[in-house]
Structure 1
């Protein structure tokens, strides 16, 4: 892999020349590979709660069935990168492990989806090409490889301003009218809306809020801190939620949630 200042300058020139062209994302990938090593490279566009658009990825169809297609079918709603992309206050470099809730790596989302991707570590650049539209340029390292280190992150931070600027310019007019139409009919919180349908009025608004945080990978303590209530109160709510839904585990809750998304 070609590295160094000369390699960065050469690939950056090629990237600049490709703005608005079909090979733009591949040029972004080539430029980033001059400053750090990674495996999977993806560019996802997020318009509110609508199904995300996979603008680009560098993996074969077999692996893409899990990493791309299964993700976009519904689990993306529980992804910390989705939360970042749909939060207008967030831009720039973000690392999965820094954003993830405290029990993310033992959550059903991680066990049933993310762990199947073979990804160990993921870093993304959150870009904002237009109001209400977020693009995440992400790169990963596989299980068995070292996680991204401090030097890697420093390198990403160093090139982030120019990468983000070019990505935002490239996607500035991409599907603007469609995004406006989708935004006008997208509920403010699709997870809560889905849970409301799934439970058919069985759960109170507070219980739906807590269920949403459980699915995202928050512990009782983390939920209590997020909602500014006592941890004991969260435990009571959690017990009532499981009783009303006639389930006994987070695995059953996740399965029902994904089934509802499929419907």
Structure 2
């Protein structure tokens, strides 16, 4: 199907088996199949994001082979910078959302975006965010490559029209919550959060460290100023001090320091 020929009644008839799959091992894969039938999608996966827990991969059978390494590298720690992870953990928004609508203003210029999106030609991503019992959410992430262009308004309308059934089915399937990761992965998540929250603590002031974390997540100086209720000029001074104290000259070097910080117990 394409966005110009989508017939909701026809789709419902074809994808009724999704409801039959609720509670069965094949449900996650069947859910993605239903989405791929509705609109052209290049790559997709389903991840559960719960507060104080590492993300849990629920389905990766539709991830492009070229992206699998980056997806698993994402799950090893950089997810702490991901707008989708933050949206799920913080509880807003829900439903169909574009990455661009929930990301900070300079996210697409961030090293995180270059490393985990643009490096494999991903041009656009949309997510269906679904509440989890006990907090957090499930993200059904769907991506399009640059060669196929961003999701059109018509395609987004199609996804919005089937979102209620997709979300209701997922809530029913995961009504008890996804299986929590083992103790070792939970301990890793605790370390990662601590490393991120303490990033730069060895040489930066508390305010500078706070600003560095916002920059890593893709906030511009203007956005940082708005988040912290300070002036843009003050943010620029702090950024200059951060670079001087950390011995760096670019956001790329800041990102490299972050990756080093989450790779070991010591803080930068």
Calculate the TM-score normalised by the size of structure 2.
0.86
Match of 1:163 in 2: 166
Structure 2 residues not aligned, in runs of 5+: none
Match of 2:63 in 1: 59
Cα distance in 2 for residues equivalent to 1:119 and 1:177: 29
Cα distance in 1 for residues equivalent to 2:245 and 2:204: 7
Is 1:102 aligned to 2:105, yes or no?
A: yes
Match of 2:229 in 1: 228
SS at match of 2:175: coil
Cα distance in 1 for residues equivalent to 2:91 and 2:203: 32
How many residues are aligned here?
259
Cα distance in 1 for residues equivalent to 2:197 and 2:82: 20
Cα distance in 2 for residues equivalent to 1:139 and 1:62: 15
Cα distance in 2 for residues equivalent to 1:177 and 1:247: 39
Q: Give RMSD over aligned pairs.
A: 2.7
Match of 2:35 in 1: 32
Pair 1:102–1:248, CA change in 2 (3 A): same
Cα distance in 1 for residues equivalent to 2:180 and 2:116: 32
Cα distance in 2 for residues equivalent to 1:50 and 1:105: 26
Pair 1:78–1:184, CA change in 2 (3 A): closer
Pair 1:85–1:221, CA change in 2 (3 A): same
2:46 to 15, 39, 43: 43
SS at match of 1:137: strand
SS at match of 1:82: helix
Cα distance in 2 for residues equivalent to 1:93 and 1:62: 26
Structure 1 residues not aligned, in runs of 5+: none
Cα distance in 2 for residues equivalent to 1:40 and 1:60: 6
Q: How big is the shift at 1:234?
A: 0.3
1:71 to 58, 70, 74: 74
Q: How does 1:85-234 map to 2 (within 5 A)?
A: 85-175=88-178, 190=193, 193-234=194-235
Q: How big is the shift at 1:85?
A: 1.1
Cα distance in 2 for residues equivalent to 1:153 and 1:40: 16
Pair 1:250–1:183, CA change in 2 (3 A): same
Pair 1:60–1:139, CA change in 2 (3 A): closer
Q: How big is the shift at 1:128?
A: 1.0
CA contact 1:129–1:169 (8 Å) conserved in 2: no
Deviations 1:77-116 (A, max 9, x none): 1111111111123211110112222211211111222212
Pair 1:73–1:36, CA change in 2 (3 A): same
CA contact 2:123–2:143 (8 Å) conserved in 1: yes
Calculate the TM-score normalised by the size of structure 1.
0.88
Cα distance in 2 for residues equivalent to 1:161 and 1:150: 18
Deviations 1:171-205 (A, max 9, x none): 122446769xx999976x92xx3245443432222
Deviations 1:54-75 (A, max 9, x none): 1112135553112x21211222
